[in-house]
C-alpha cells in the first residue's frame, strides 16, 4: 500500500513539475515577444467610430481659364481641357503663402462649427510648400490659439509630396485611438500652393487648404485595419532647389509610379478585407461594387478616370473565372493573360477598361472631381478636396451607410488606399446632416471667384518667382481681391519673419484688420 501511495505521489509531483516547466517556458518566450506583436484578441477598447467629424475647404479667390491658357501657350485646343480634364485653375498672388492658407482654413472651420480652441488637443499639418526648413506651419497656426490660453496641443508638420496630408490624418486618428488621447479633438490641416515653371506642367497647378476635425462618433469613420499601403523610392517629382517653388518632374515616371502604387495598394486592401470577411465566416470576393464611392488624389482629372479603369483591370485579372459574355467584363477576354506591370502606357488596355468602367465612373467617382476640375491640383489637400466635392453634391440620405474608398498618393513615393464608412444616421441635425450642410455652398463659392486673363496669371507667377523667400518684402497683391475672412501676408522683415492680417469677415475694408505677427518682431505698418 505504501508503495502504491508513493508511486501516486511521485507521479503527481512529476506532473506538477512538468506543468511548471511548461508555464515557465511560455512565460520566458512571451518575455521575448516583440512589442505590438500580441494577438488582436488581447487589444483593449478604444473610442468608437473615430474619423472625420467636420471638414472645411479653402481655395483662392482668383482663377485662370484653362481654354484661354491653351491659347496663350499656343497649344492645340483641348490639350488642357480635354487631355487633362481641367477647366479652371486657382492661383495665389504674393499676398498668400502656406501659412496664410492654413490660418484661413483653420479659423473658418472653427467659426463655422462653433468650436473653441481649447477643445483641440492635437494639430497636425501636412504640406510640401516649405518656406522654412525648421519652423513648422503648425507653430504659426498656434497664434490662433493664444486668446484661449491653450498651448497643450500636440503635433507638427508632415512632409512627403502630396501624401503629407494623409500621413497627418493617420497620426490624428491614431492619437485618438491611443493611450495618449485626453478626450479632445484632433485637427488636421492639409495645404499647398502648386506652381510650375512655364511649360507643359504649369496647367496642372492649383492651390488650397483643407481642415478636418477628427474624433469619435464621426459621420465618416475609418474602417479599422483596412489600409493598403505601398512605399518605394523614385525620383518622379521632387524639389531639390530650396530657393525655388518649382519642382523637378519626370511626367512619364510619375504616372507609372502612381498606377503601380494603386495596383499594389488595392491588392493589399483586398487581402485585408478578405481576411476580415473570412474571420466573420464569409467567402465573398471583394470588388469595386463593394465601394459606394471612390475618390483619388487628383493631379489632373483624366488620371483619376484612368485610375478607376485600372482598378477594374485589377478586378478582372484577379477573378478566377470572369464572365466576358455579359456584364462589365463583356468583350475583355483578349486581355486575360496580360501582365499589369506592362500595361501602364498600353493604350488598348486603357481604352478598353475606361469604356468598361464608364458607368462606375459616373456613379462612384465623377462627382468627386468638382474642385479638381475647377481649381486644379492642391497637392496634399487634393484627395480631401475630392472627398469634399463628393459630399457637397449628395444628400445625407444618399451617402448614409456607404463605404468610401480613398486613394492617396505622394511622389517619391508613398501611397495608401483606405476606406471610410459613412454613418447610417442621416436625420436632421445629425453629424452627417451637419457635415453635408456645411459643404453645400461649394459650387456657389467656386462661382464667386474672379476670373483673370492668362497674361495677369503669368505676371503673378513671375512675381512669385522673383520674390520667393525675399527678406524685407512687402507684397504688392490687392487685398480687395481676397475673399472676406482670408488671412494674408503683410510683410516679411529683415530676419525673414512673416506678419499677417485678416480681411474682415463682414467685407468692411474700412474696419481694422486682425493682425498676427511674431511676438519678437517690431511692429511695422503694411505699406
The answer for residues whose C-beta is within 8 angstroms of residue 45's C-beta and 6 or more apart is none
**Distance of alpha carbon 185 from alpha carbon 153, whole angstroms:** 10
**Distance of alpha carbon 187 from alpha carbon 421, whole angstroms:** 20
**Distance of alpha carbon 502 from alpha carbon 516, whole angstroms:** 8
- Residue 256, phi-psi category: left (phi > 0), alpha (psi -120 to 50), beta (remainder): alpha
**Distance of alpha carbon 52 from alpha carbon 49, whole angstroms:** 9
For residues 168 and 126, the answer to whether their CB atoms sit within 8 Å is: yes
Which one of the listed residues 96, 124, 297, 426 is annotated catalytic? 297
For residues 266 and 417, the answer to whether their CB atoms sit within 8 Å is: yes
162 part of the active site = yes
254 is in an annotated binding site: yes
Q: What is the dihedral of CA 375, 377, 379, 380, to 10 degrees?
A: 50
Which one of the listed residues 56, 96, 124, 128 is annotated catalytic? 128
Which one of the listed residues 92, 102, 162, 301 is annotated catalytic? 162
The answer for residues whose C-beta is within 8 angstroms of residue 452's C-beta and 6 or more apart is 62, 63, 64
306 is in an annotated binding site: yes
15 part of the active site = no
Computed over its alpha carbons, how large is the radius of gyration of the chain?
27
Beta strands 450-452 and 62-65 are parallel
In order of 93, 161, 476, 509, the CA distances from 484 in angstroms are 16, 30, 18, 9
In three-state secondary structure terms, 166 is helix
Question: Which alpha helices (H) appear in 280-336, and where do they start and end?
Answer: 301-318
Q: Is the peptide bond before 413 cis (omega within 30 degrees of 0)?
A: yes
Q: Which helix (H) or strand (E) holds 353?
A: helix 347-356
In order of 123, 152, 154, 290, the CA distances from 175 in angstroms are 11, 14, 10, 29
Closest CA to 191 of 389, 56, 373: 56
Start-to-end C-alpha separation, the chain: 110
Q: Which helix (H) or strand (E) holds 492?
A: strand 487-492
302 is in an annotated binding site: yes
DSSP 300: S
Beta strands 514-516 and 498-502 are antiparallel
- Residue 36, phi-psi category: left (phi > 0), alpha (psi -120 to 50), beta (remainder): left
Strands (E), 196-315: 206-215, 220-231, 237-238, 248-249, 293-296
**Distance of alpha carbon 49 from alpha carbon 406, whole angstroms:** 17
Active site residues: 128, 162, 297
Question: Residue positions in the annotated binding site?
Answer: 254, 302, 306
Query: Binding site residues for CoA, as ranges?
Result: 254, 302, 306
Amino acid at each position: 500500500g505504501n508503495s502504491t501511495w508513493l508511486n501516486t505521489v511521485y507521479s503527481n509531483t512529476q506532473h506538477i513539475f512538468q506543468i511548471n516547466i511548461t508555464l515557465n517556458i511560455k512565460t520566458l518566450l512571451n518575455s521575448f515577444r516583440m512589442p505590438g506583436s500580441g494577438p488582436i484578441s488581447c487589444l483593449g477598447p478604444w473610442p468608437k467610430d473615430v474619423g472625420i467629424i467636420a471638414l472645411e475647404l479653402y481655395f483662392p479667390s482668383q482663377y485662370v481659364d484653362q481654354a484661354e491658357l491653351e491659347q496663350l501657350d499656343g497649344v492645340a485646343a483641348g490639350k488642357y481641357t480635354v487631355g487633362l480634364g481641367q477647366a479652371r485653375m486657382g492661383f495665389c498672388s504674393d499676398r498668400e503663402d502656406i501659412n496664410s492658407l492654413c490660418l484661413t482654413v483653420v479659423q473658418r472651420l472653427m467659426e463655422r462649427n462653433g468650436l473653441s480652441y481649447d477643445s483641440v488637443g492635437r494639430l497636425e499639418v501636412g504640406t510640401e510648400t516649405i518656406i522654412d526648413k525648421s519652423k513648422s506651419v503648425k507653430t504659426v497656426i498656434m497664434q490662433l490659439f493664444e486668446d484661449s490660453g491653450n498651448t497643450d496641443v500636440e503635433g507638427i508638420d508632415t512632409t512627403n509630396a502630396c501624401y503629407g496630408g494623409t500621413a497627418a490624418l493617420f497620426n490624428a486618428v491614431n492619437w485618438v485611438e491611443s493611450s495618449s488621447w485626453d478626450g479632445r479633438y484632433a485637427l488636421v490641416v492639409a495645404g499647398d500652393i502648386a506652381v510650375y515653371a512655364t511649360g507643359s506642367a504649369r496647367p496642372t497647378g492649383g492651390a488650397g487648404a483643407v481642415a478636418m476635425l477628427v474624433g469619435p462618433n464621426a459621420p465618416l469613420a475609418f474602417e479599422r485595419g483596412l489600409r493598403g499601403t505601398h512605399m518605394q523610392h523614385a525620383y518622379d517629382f521632387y524639389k531639390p532647389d530650396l530657393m525655388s517653388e518649382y519642382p523637378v518632374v519626370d511626367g512619364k515616371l510619375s504616372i507609372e509610379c502612381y498606377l503601380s502604387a494603386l495596383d499594389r495598394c488595392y491588392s493589399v486592401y483586398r487581402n485585408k478585407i478578405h481576411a476580415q470577411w473570412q474571420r466573420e465566416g464569409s467567402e465573398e470576393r471583394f470588388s469595386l461594387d463593394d465601394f459606394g464611392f471612390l475618390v483619388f488624389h487628383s493631379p489632373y482629372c483624366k488620371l483619376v478616370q484612368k485610375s478607376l479603369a485600372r482598378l477594374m483591370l485589377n478586378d478582372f485579372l484577379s477573378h478566377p473565372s470572369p464572365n466576358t459574355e455579359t456584364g462589365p467584363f463583356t468583350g475583355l477576354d483578349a486581355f486575360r493573360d496580360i501582365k499589369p506591370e506592362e500595361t501602364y502606357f498600353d493604350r488598348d488596355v486603357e481604352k478598353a477598361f475606361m469604356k468598361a468602367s464608364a458607368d462606375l465612373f459616373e456613379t462612384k467617382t465623377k462627382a468627386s472631381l468638382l474642385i479638381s476640375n475647377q481649381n486644379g491640383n492642391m497637392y496634399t489637400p487634393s484627395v480631401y478636396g475630392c472627398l469634399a466635392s463628393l459630399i457637397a453634391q449628395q444628400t445625407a440620405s444618399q451617402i448614409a451607410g456607404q463605404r468610401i474608398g480613398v486613394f492617396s498618393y505622394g511622389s517619391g513615393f508613398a501611397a495608401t488606399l483606405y476606406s471610410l464608412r459613412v454613418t447610417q444616421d442621416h436625420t436632421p441635425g445629425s453629424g452627417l446632416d451637419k457635415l453635408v450642410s456645411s459643404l453645400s455652398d461649394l459650387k456657389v463659392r467656386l462661382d464667386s471667384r474672379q476670373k483673370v486673363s492668362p497674361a495677369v496669371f503669368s505676371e503673378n507667377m513671375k512675381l512669385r518667382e522673383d520674390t520667393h523667400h525675399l527678406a524685407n518684402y512687402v507684397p504688392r497683391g490687392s487685398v480687395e481681391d481676397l475673399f472676406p475672412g482670408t488671412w494674408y501676408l503683410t510683410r516679411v522683415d529683415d530676419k525673414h519673419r512673416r506678419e499677417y492680417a485678416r480681411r474682415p469677415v463682414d467685407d468692411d475694408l474700412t474696419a481694422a484688420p486682425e493682425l498676427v505677427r511674431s511676438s519678437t518682431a517690431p511692429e511695422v505698418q503694411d505699406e
